[in-house]
Amino acid sequence: MSNHQEALTQLLAVMKRLRDPETGCAWDIKQTFHTIAPFTVEEAYEVADAIERNDLADLKDELGDLLFQVVFHTQMASEAGEFTFDDVAHGIVDKMTRRHPHVFGEAVFDTEEDLKVAWEAIKSQERQEKQRKASEQPADMTTSALDGVARNLPALKRADKIQKRAARVGFDWPDIDPVWPKLDEEVGELREALDSGSLADIEDELGDLLFTVVNLARHCSVDSETALQRATQKFDQRFRRVEAMVNADERTMNTMTLAELDDLWNNAKQDN
């Protein structure tokens, strides 16, 4: 048995032991797919955070935690007689082989765009087949270009994916120019909602504005989720500098004027 096979066998054995009804861990035993799902999402974000910080030692640990989540879900599925870890592994091998006919088959794509088109066509066929099996309807059943976009993605990421799916079938502005007046329109409608005092209308119009900002980011070839994450991190760093300057003067923020705080903020901005 190879080292990686041995390590995986040990991991699966550890998970099975933790879920053993007689000798396992009480916390692990009572978990379900629904209770574990938030931890799975959290671990994926911690992997992304380690990558963002370029901390490879931490990345190794976080990937282990994420792998453990996969094993946890497959162990629960195995107990229910649904599928096993081997089924999951074989499934992804089959999917990647099917989606890369230029690597594992004889297909040839001249450009990266041709490759993307083929990739989406294969995924579309997969979605239709999945829906056909789920509903036991004919293979030519009506499907949507938006099928398969997870509902529990972060809001900005889901908006971006939904827009890209729509764009692939031609439902999109040709360039960035029409986005600007749409952005102005949404700002105006938000102002009107604020004047009305209706919280429901304010939420609705603010959502439309955010959705349009995602559209703007997409036409700028910028990932809105990443852009907001970095903007938030930048604010975090600058705010901490302001706190340090306030503390150095033995003062508190709530006793300072906005003008004083603004001066400190501008000083903090000069550092990056």
| Residue 94 included in any domain | no
Asked whether residue 50 is domain-assigned, the answer is yes
Q: Are residues 231 and 256 in the same domain?
A: yes
**What percentage of the chain reaches a pLDDT higher than 90?**
74
pLDDT in tens, 16-45: 999 999 999 999 999 999 999 989 999 998
Q: 109 with 52, same domain?
A: no
195 shares a domain with 126: no
Q: What is the predicted pLDDT for the residue at 153? A: 86
For residue 177, what are its two tokens? 């120019």
Q: Tell me which residue of 12, 11, 33, 31 sits closest to 21, measured CA to CA.
A: 31
Specify the pTM: 0.66
Q: What is the CATH number of the domain that holds 40?
A: 1.10.287.1080
218 within a domain of the structure (yes/no): yes
137 has a pLDDT exceeding 60: no
Same domain assignment for residues 19 and 79? yes
Beta carbons of 166 and 172 less than 8 angstroms apart = yes
Backbone angles phi, psi at 151, to 5 degrees: -75, -25
Look at residues 65, 89, 113 and tell me which one is the last residue of a structural domain: 89
The Cα–Cα gap between 115 and 166 comes to 19
Number of domains in the chain: 4
Q: 192 and 202 in contact (C-beta within 8 Å)?
A: no
Displacement of CA 184 from its chain's centroid (Å): 28
Terminal-residue alpha carbon distance, the chain: 52
Q: Tell the residue number behind the tokens 């999945």, with chain if given.
A: 130
* 122 domain-assigned: yes
Residue 169 structure tokens: 């079938």
Model confidence at 272, in pLDDT bands (50, 70, 90)? low
Residue 135: its pLDDT value, please?
66
What is d(CA 229, CA 156) in angstroms, rounded to the nearest whole number? Answer: 11
Where does residue 204 rank: exposed (0-12), middle (13-18), buried (19+ CB within 10 A)?
A: middle
150: in domain: no
Whether residue 139 is found in the same domain as residue 183? no
Mean pLDDT check: name the lowest of 80-94, 113-127, 192-206: 113-127
- Domain end (from 186, 204, 222): 222
Lowest-pLDDT range of 2-11, 40-49, 198-207, 227-236:
2-11
Structural domain contains residue 8:
yes
259 lies in the same domain as 214: no
Does residue 17 sit in the same domain as residue 63? yes
Q: What is the domain range of residue 162? A: 155-222
What residues contact residue 185 under an 8 Å CB cut-off, 6+ apart? none
Q: Is 95 inside a domain boundary? A: no
Residues 50 and 118 in one domain: no
pLDDT digit string (tens) for 235-265?
999 999 999 999 999 999 999 999 999 999 9
For the beta carbon of residue 264, count every other beta carbon within 10 angstroms. 19
Same-domain pairing of 240 and 185:
no
Give the pLDDT band of residue 136 (cuts 50, 70, 90): low
113 located within any domain = yes
Given pLDDT bands bounded at 50, 70 and 90, which one contains residue 203? very high
The DSSP letter of residue 254 is G
Say yes or no: 139 and 168 in one domain. no
What mean pLDDT value characterizes the chain? 91
Number of C-beta neighbours around residue 153 at 10 A? 15
pLDDT in tens, 177-191: 999 999 999 999 999
Task: Report the pLDDT value the prediction gives residue 44, as an integer from 0 to 100.
Answer: 92
